[in-house]
Structure 1
Amino acid sequence: MHAAPQAPEDTVVEEVFYGEPTGVEIEREEDEFGQRVSTPWDPDQIRISTRTFSLRNVLDMIDDGDLELAPDFQRNRVWKGRQKSRLIESLLLQIPLPAFYFAEDRGGMFRVVDGLQRLSTVHEYVQGRFALDDLEYLDAELGKGFRDLDAPLRRRLHNAQIVVHVIEPSTPNRVKYDIFKRINTGGEPLNAMEIRHCMSSARSRDLLKRCVSADVFQAATAGVLRDHVRMNDREAVLRFLAFYSLPDLQEYDAYSSLENLLDATTERIDDPRQVSDEQLASWYAAFERGMANARIIFGDYAFRRWPAGSNRRSPINRALLESWGVVLAAYRPETLVPARERIVAEARKAMAKNSDYIAAISSSTADPKRVRIRFEVARRIVEDAVAGL
Structure 2
Amino acid sequence: MTTEDVTAEGAPQAPDVVEDVFEGIATDVEVESVEEDTTQIERPWNPEQIRVSTNQFSLRNILDQIDEDSIELAPDFQRLRVWRPDQKSLLIESLLLQIPLPAFYFAEDQDGSYRVVDGLQRLSTLHAFVRGGAAGFSLSKLEHLKDLKNLRFTDLPVPFQRRIHNTQLIVNVIDPTTPRGVTYEIFKRINTGGTPLNAQEIRHCMSKKRSRDILKRMTHTDAFEKATGGRLTDHIRMNDREMALRFAAFWLKGVEEYRKRPVMEDFLMDTTVMLDEPSSVPDERVAELESAFERAMSHAYLVFGEHAFRKWPTNVNWRSPINRALFETWSIALSDPSFTTADLRARRTAIQKAARKRMTVDVQYLNAITSSTADRHRVDYRFKAAGKDVKAGL
Match of 2:9 in 1: none
User: What is the aligned partner in structure 1 of residue 275 from structure 2?
Assistant: 269
Give the percent of matched residue pairs that are identical in Structure 1 and Structure 2: 53
**Pairwise CA distance, 1:369:** 1.0
Within 2, Cα distance between the matches of 1:274 and 1:295? 31
Which of 290, 295, 300 is 2:301 aligned to? Answer: 295
1:342 aligned onto 2:345: no
The answer on 1:88 being equivalent to 2:92 is yes
CA distance in 2, matches of 1:373, 1:179: 33
Contact 2:350 2:392 in 1 (8 A): no
Q: CA deviation at 1:45?
A: 2.5
Equivalent in 216, 241, 259 of residue 209 of structure 1: 216
**Alignment correspondent of 1:73:** 77
Structure 2 unmatched ranges of 5 or more:
1-12
1:250, distance to aligned residue in structure 2 (A): 2.5
Task: Please state how far the C-alpha of 1:71 moved relative to its aligned partner.
Answer: 2.2
Ranges in structure 1 where 5+ consecutive residues have no aligned partner = 1-7
- Contact kept? 2:200, 2:238, Cα under 8 Å: yes
Q: Which moved more, 1:152-161 or 1:268-277?
A: 268-277
Is 1:363 paired with 2:371? yes
Q: Does 2:24 match 1:19?
A: yes
2:3 aligned partner = none
1:319 paired residue number: 325
Report matched runs for 1:248-259 at 5 Å.
249-259=255-265
TM-score (norm. length: structure 2): 0.93
Q: 1:33 aligns with which of 14, 32, 36?
A: 36
Map of 1:1-389 to 2, 5 A cutoff? 10-29=15-34, 32-33=35-36, 35=38, 37-40=40-43, 41-126=45-130, 127-128=132-133, 129-247=136-254, 249-330=255-336, 331-385=339-393, 387=394
CA contact (8 A) 1:25 1:317 kept: yes
Matches of 2:92 and 2:86, distance apart in 1:
10
- Give the 3-state SS of the residue equivalent to 1:265 in structure 2: helix
Q: Normalising by structure 1, report the TM-score.
A: 0.94
What secondary structure is seen at the aligned counterpart in 2 of 1:59? helix
- Contact 2:40–2:181 under 8 Å retained in 1: no
- Runs (4 or more) in structure 1 with deviation over 3 Å come to 34-38
> Residues 297 and 340 of structure 1 are in contact (CA less than 8 Å); yes or no, is this contact kept in structure 2?
yes
Distance 2:145 2:39 in 1: 47
TM-superposed CA distance for 1:281, in Å, is: 0.9
Paired residues, number: 376
Give distance in 2, aligned partners of 1:63 and 1:167: 21
3-state SS in 1 of match to 2:105: strand
What letter is aligned with 1:13?
V
Q: Which moved more, 1:252-261 or 1:76-85?
A: 252-261
Name the Cα RMSD after superposition. 1.3
CA distance in 2, matches of 1:373, 1:25: 20
Mapped to 2, the partners of 1:381 and 1:36 lie a distance apart of 34
